[in-house]
Structure 1
Amino acid sequence: MGGEPLLLRCRLLLPCAGCSPLRDTIVYAEDGRILYIGDRPPSGAKSGIVIDCPRYGVALPCFYNAHTHVAMTLLRGFHDDSELHEWLARMWFVEKRLTPETIYHASRLAVIEMISTGTCGFIDMYFEPEATAKAAREHGVRARLGPVIMGDVDPYRAVEEARRFARSLEGDPLLGGVINVHSVYAAPLEAVAEGYRAAEELGVPFHIHVSETRREVYEARKKHGKFPVELLESLGALGPRSVLVHAGWIASWELDAVRRARATLVHCPTSNMKLATAGHFPLYEAMEKGINVALGTDGPASNNSLDMLREAKTGLLLQRHSYWDTRVKASHLLEAATRGGARAMGLDRGGAIEPGAPADITVLDLSRPWSLPLRPDNLASAILYAATGGDTLYTIVAGNPVYTPENRARLWSLAEQSAQELNRFLEDIGPGRDPTPPCSPRNACKPG
């Protein structure tokens, strides 16, 4: 992948979600992958970037946001207290007026937020993915991108547009394609079936909202005689490429189908609570069945944060509140936020700090009063329950420090500039509502 070799020295290091902490550890990486972990520099190490963690600096695997709509930073704090259908009408009014330049600035703001809070990669579902790809490349972050398929589209033309975009990213060391079909209710079923075939053909994720609301489940059963996951299975769209988002209303027998298919489930706890979708995401049962579970923030309009540490804590607390016991541990949510997200992205060996893994590392500063006293035996607890993404000191993607104490002021200045552009856009278009969703991709929309 190129770039300078990296040598990282930390007093405390958490190699993976369920691992014991390591003390006084050196990590050495070349060409974007970790080559060595030990207590002294490896023989033959090349000169390059050296990072010495401060006394309370803790290294851990980077976070991967397995479901978001990053350009919705534009709509952060926008009609937050409206009921779902009114909220959507307000969103759709704005989204039908989006430009690539606006999506670029919204994406740049989001990418800077993510790397400032320890996230190395994300799976995105939104419009004009070229604009988001530009922002991701500028800041050296991993992303899986593609146009969202939704609305009154020609399903085959829509999937072909998604194929075209995914192929345009082939060979990119950090970016890759994803086939984004909004849902079984907002896209033609032909697009669902054809989209999964395209994902298999291209070797990319098939990313879809599933069983988010009770209404969705009831309508699928009424219209098609099947629950949403059953419907995906009948369409040939449930398999190892499937990344199924929300699943708060998934049935127990559907969970068995997900396991058989080796699909991924993505939990978005904050968004589900904010939008009052109710239901229960069966995290413990899914993990016990061996299903890959990942964590997502959803979009900044329905969260409103892209902070994966905050999301992990929220997810853990919600799970315990739902189960009435403590069977779900900090390690479960850290696993979902790291290795689970890496698997969803198709990132080989991501989510752990070990030889051969991608050199995707976050360093947190746990010297703040809210994280103390700190010891190796309470490290995972301090990370999950006390720290936030705002405690991030370094975010390292493929061995490249993309967020550091030295570049923070410059990055945040760029974020502020983009935020000003977004406010100008909203002022120019004014308020409004539109009860019909946008159509995407535009080239595949039917006339009228």
Structure 2
Amino acid sequence: MRKYAVIIISIVALVIIEKENNIISRVSNKLTLRQRPQTEPPVPYNASSALVVMDDNGSYPEDMFAESGIQAGRKHILLMATTRTGSSFVGEFFNQQGGNMFYLFEPLWHVERMLSIGSSGTNASISVLVYRDVLQHLFLCNFSMLEHFISPPPQDHITPALFRRESSKALCEEQVCSPVVKDVFERYHCKTRRCGPLNLTLATEVCLRKQHMVIKTVRVRQLDTLRSLVEDPRLDTKLIQLVRDPRAILASRMVAFASKYQNWKSWAVNGDVPIEDEEVKRLERNCNNIRISAELGLSQPKWLKNRYMLVRYEDIARCPMRKAAEMYNFTGIPMTLQARDWILKNTHASTEASGVYSTQKNSSEQVEKWRLSIPFKLAQVVQKVCGPTMKLFGYRFVDSEQTLLNRSFNLLEEKLFI
């Protein structure tokens, strides 16, 4: 636990330093990653060791970009969402791109888990900074900072415990596939071939050879905290924010995380929903965070100009190929035939293939299935606490159970987000 305490203390120090110098919005001008040979053990994260100072002419060291090892023209895409918005499904649009793509599925899962354990509950002000810095390291193909949050800790940069490794095609390629080790259990093992525990040294080497990189996460909710990441001159970062009707999100979470939503089920059956309850307040805060981020992105401040895109899951579900083409066009990455074929095949999946966690969806049928499962009483609560968010994204309200169940009543306004 001492090591984790050091990490948290270091991050607190970073917050203090940034606040005192009033440079939070320009921290990317100070941050860099010192690429270390992967044969060396990772050093504890320390804010002061990550500083690169501009010279008197306001320029960065000439060797800074060469040291990063990143290919010229490389695109760095962050797909940000919340749980049950279809982000795993949409992430596959990029994961299936093929040989030129390095895709990571929820690497921040480890960070959230470790910070929650180390502090008896995640401290939001610390978490957002750690998330940002881990993402910055990963976009530069440096896994060393992430290693501090993987449990049990990697040995010689080898781990059998990377969350959902199998959800990244790049991490299951032959070049990353180390020999199988007897009696080593790897929960998230590759499905395409038999591989041993993940060698993060090999992952770094493959990552550096890829032309583009996409990271999918449901753990970043405040867009403004990513400014230094977007402004990092070594990266060409673009952000895609995926949103969904909050009524549909609640309905989906009540199925996927049933044990955590017992109160909601009880309220639906036994009486009125207590609006002041902490769970309802949490829903309201989540909606507000999503809306505030979207409002910032859509306002297109200078640092986000042409670097932010808002996409509704419902639009993707109804017109998957068209929306996929729009996302690829936004990123500046040409879509491969392999990605096109996967999208066509997996947006017309059978009912049997469309499970709770499946990335195969008969998307046009699935998009409003939630209307038949959520009690009208709960839909009303969502409309009350998430009203401004729903209006911004163009989700129509329902005023009766009959309207909710009437699927001929379109809940989606036609809206362009530019």
Same fold (TM over 0.5): no
For CA contacts below 8 A with separation 6 or more, give which structure has more relative contact order. Answer: 1
TM-score (norm 1): 0.24
**Structure (1 or 2) with the greater helix fraction:** 2
TM-score (norm 2): 0.26
